[in-house]
Structure 1
Amino acid sequence: MGAHSKGGVREVDATTSPRTAGRDRYFDTLRAVALIRVVAYHTFGWAWAGLVFPSMGIMFGLAGTLMAKSLERPPLTVVKSRLRRLLPPFWFWGFFVVVAMLVHGWMPGWQIVYWIVPLGDPPGNAWGVQAWEILWYLRTYLWFVLLSPLLLKVFRRAPVPVLLLSLCPILVLTFLWPGPDNRFGSALWDLSTYLFCWLLGFAHRDGVLHRTRPAVVVVLSLAAMGYGGWYAVGHQAEFGTYDLDEIPLAQAFWSAGFVLLLMWAKARFRIDFAGLTRFRRLDRLVTVFNARAVTIYLWHEIALILAVPLIDRFWQVPAFETYLPLESQWFMFGVGWILIAGFVLGCGWVEDVAAKRKPRLLP
Structure 2
Amino acid sequence: MAKPTGRTLAADATADRRPPPPPRGGRDRYLDLLRALALVRVVVYHLFGWGWLTILFPSMGVMFALAGSLMARSLNRPALSVIRGRLRRLLPPLWFFAAVLVPLMLYAGWNPARDPDLGGLTGLPKLLDYLVPVGAPPYPEHLGSDSGLLDPTWPDDAAGPLWYLRAYLWFVVASPVLLWAFRRAPWPTLLAPLALTAVVGTGWVTVPGETGEAITDFAVYGSCWILGFAHHEGALKQVPRYIAVSSSALLMAVGLWWASGHRGPDGWDLNDIPFAQATWSFGVVVILLQYSPSWTELPGRLRRWDGPITLANNRAVTIYLWHNALITAAVPLLDQAYNLPFMQSDTATSLLDKTYPFWTFAVVWPLIALAVLTFGWIEDLAAKRKPRLWPNGRERRRSRAL
* 2:162 alignment partner AA: L
Count of matched residue positions in the alignment of Structure 1 and Structure 2? 341
The SS at the match of 2:238 is coil
1:354 to 382, 388, 392: 382
* 1:132 alignment partner AA: A
Q: Which residue of 2 aligns with 1:241?
A: 267
The SS at the match of 2:268 is coil
- TM-score of the superposition, structure 1-length normalised? 0.89
Structure 1 unmatched ranges of 5 or more: 1-17
* 2:281 alignment partner AA: S
Q: Which residue of 2 aligns with 1:176?
A: 204
Q: CA deviation at 1:34?
A: 0.8
Q: Which residue of 2 aligns with 1:210?
A: 237
Q: Which residue of 2 aligns with 1:11?
A: none
Q: Which residue of 2 aligns with 1:148?
A: 175
Q: CA deviation at 1:358?
A: 1.4
Structure 1 residues 239 and 168: CA distance shift in structure 2, 3 A = farther
Measure, in 2, the Cα distance between the counterparts of 1:84 and 1:189.
Answer: 26
The SS at the match of 1:167 is helix
Higher-Rg structure is 2
Measure, in 1, the Cα distance between the counterparts of 2:77 and 2:242.
Answer: 35
Q: Which residue of 2 aligns with 1:317?
A: 340
Cα-Cα RMSD = 2.0
Q: CA deviation at 1:276?
A: 4.0
Measure, in 2, the Cα distance between the counterparts of 1:22 and 1:332.
Answer: 36
Q: Which residue of 2 aligns with 1:21?
A: 25
**Is the 8 Å Cα contact of residues 239 and 247 (structure 1) preserved in structure 2?**
no
Measure, in 2, the Cα distance between the counterparts of 1:61 and 1:321.
Answer: 50
Structure 1 stretch displaced more, 166-175 or 73-82? 166-175
Q: Deviations over 1:61-108 (max 9, x none)?
A: 111110000000000000000000000000000111000011111122
Structure 1 stretch displaced more, 250-259 or 159-168? 159-168
Structure 1 residues 295 and 19: CA distance shift in structure 2, 3 A = farther
**Is the 8 Å Cα contact of residues 71 and 172 (structure 2) preserved in structure 1?**
yes
Measure, in 1, the Cα distance between the counterparts of 2:266 and 2:64.
Answer: 26
* 1:318 alignment partner AA: P
Structure 1 stretch displaced more, 83-92 or 217-226? 217-226
Matched, 1:288 2:318: no
Q: Which residue of 2 aligns with 1:259?
A: 285
Q: Deviations over 1:270-298 (max 9, x none)?
A: 35273448766510111101101111111
* 1:124 alignment partner AA: Y
- TM-score of the superposition, structure 2-length normalised? 0.81
* 1:21 alignment partner AA: G
Q: Which residue of 1 aligns with 2:322?
A: 299
Between the two proteins, what is the percent identity of the paired residues?
A: 48
Q: Deviations over 1:190-209 (max 9, x none)?
A: 00000110111111111111
**Is the 8 Å Cα contact of residues 314 and 321 (structure 1) preserved in structure 2?**
no
Structure 1 residues 158 and 280: CA distance shift in structure 2, 3 A = closer
Measure, in 1, the Cα distance between the counterparts of 2:352 and 2:41.
Answer: 22
Structure 1 stretch displaced more, 347-356 or 319-328? 319-328
Structure 1 stretch displaced more, 344-353 or 139-148? 344-353
The SS at the match of 1:112 is helix
Measure, in 2, the Cα distance between the counterparts of 1:226 and 1:255.
Answer: 11
1:137 to 164, 182, 195: 164
Structure 2 unmatched ranges of 5 or more: 1-21, 113-123, 144-154, 392-402
